[in-house]
Structure 1
């Protein structure tokens, strides 16, 4: 059975919570290409860019990862005027930290 395509889906493998290569039925070459692209997107081009992002993130009350994710998703740097988006990011952080036992 073939996976249905959705808007924005290019049929790449999921890269969240990587626990090893899923060689069961997937194409290892495609998976490794996606993994390499994912890693390259998160690596800053230089030390100065990393420090700039860190300073902006701290000024907005976000972590480096949260700020970088917003930059990768939206294609623009967050500003203080983006208070609603920053608040949404902080609220999602609190939801992620909740651990359910049982």
Structure 2
């Protein structure tokens, strides 16, 4: 019997550390849709939006990826007033092994 996903799980496959398709482990159609949605979420709508995000990220001391992830997850553009949240993101770098950014 297949394992049921956790209550908060959205039903999509894991997309972090992608090591190839999971054809033998589920519905390939669902996998392809989730992978496509993941790529679309990370692609900025225009060059100007990418440059805007980069400038905002540099202003608060984050990478483009960290800033964009915060925007995608919480829908909030970080600013200098969000120092507590920025510090949390920087601390999570060390847990993930990205301390070379500091």
Scaled to the shorter chain, the TM-score interval is 0.7 to 0.9
Structure 1 runs of 4+ aligned residues shifted over 3 Å read 2-8
Q: For residue 55 of structure 2, what is the aligned residue in structure 1?
A: 55
Aligned pair count? 98
Q: Which moved more, 1:21-30 or 1:35-44?
A: 21-30
**Distance in 1 between residues matched to 2:9 and 2:95, nearest whole Å:** 26
**Distance in 1 between residues matched to 2:40 and 2:77, nearest whole Å:** 19
Q: For residue 84 of structure 2, what is the aligned residue in structure 1?
A: 84
Q: For residue 39 of structure 1, what is the aligned residue in structure 2?
A: 39
Instruction: Give the 3-state SS of the residue equivalent to 1:82 in structure 2.
Output: helix
Which structure shows the higher helix fraction? 2
Q: For residue 94 of structure 1, what is the aligned residue in structure 2?
A: 94
TM-aligned CA deviation for residue 44 of structure 1: 0.2
TM-score, length-scaled by structure 2 = 0.88
Unaligned runs of 5+ in 2: none
**Distance in 2 between residues matched to 1:93 and 1:42, nearest whole Å:** 19
